[in-house]
Structure 1
Amino acid sequence: MEPDSKLVALRRGMLEPLVLASVEQQARYAGEIATALRDAGFPVQEATLYPLLNKLRREELLAHEWQESAAGPPRKYLSLTESGRAQLRDFRAYWASLTDMITTIGH
């Protein structure tokens, strides 16, 4: 069943906080981030992910470090900066307030 277009728009808006959350505990390279998102049930395509990762780096929410890979060329591992951690905290607080509104408005 294809999701409603309004739900697709909401999901699209969740990509940035989910990317930040995906590197909260450990640095990951782009392929690992995509896999983590998919494993969590969030469909993502590289054509969407890579531009967002570059944007988040430009905004200094993500930092990167090159690491050697046994499976090929070096990989760029991404991690949260302090600004990224603050942004993720803000997203979580706002999400919690939205969830609370949806839960309580009809009661």
Structure 2
Amino acid sequence: MSFQLGSSLLDACVLAVLVKEDTYGYSLTQQVREVMDISESTLYPVLRRLQKKEFLTTYDQPFQGRNRRYYRITASGIERYEELNKEWVEFKHKIDSVLMGGKQSE
């Protein structure tokens, strides 16, 4: 079964990975892929949008003779992640309640 995933949920997943550590695009894609079906071609516009909103910054580091672009979450990105996480918990609780026949999830 597939559910439509909105941009807010995708943003939350990207920011959640970056809260833990800086990472480069391919690694970030692989980590997000663990929870949702996403391609690199989908992820890079999300990264650019989050960077434009100043939730992320980038820096390059040499790796095997090439530069690898790393993404780092900013203070405003952490705030946005916390907002999205709170919204997710509330949304999940409501969905769980409906799916469980009106029972409150624990």
For the aligned pair, the TM-score class normalised by the smaller chain equals: 0.7 to 0.9
Residue 74 (1) aligns with residue 41 (2) = no
Counterpart of 2:78 in structure 1: which amino acid?
R
Name the SS of the counterpart of 1:24 in structure 2. helix
Deviation at 1:17, TM superposition (A): 0.8
Cα distance in 1 between the residues matched to 2:43 and 2:95:
29
Q: CA deviation at 1:23?
A: 1.0
Matched residue type, 2:63 = S
Please report the TM-score for the alignment, with normalisation by the length of structure 1: 0.82
Scaled by the length of structure 2, what TM-score is found? 0.83
Aligned to 1:98: 91
Structure 1 residue 12: Cα displacement: 3.9
What runs of 5+ residues in structure 1 fail to find an aligned partner? none
Identity of aligned residues (%): 25
Structure 2: unaligned runs, 5 residues or longer: none
Cα root mean square deviation, aligned: 1.6
Q: May I ask how many residue pairs the two structures share in their alignment?
A: 99
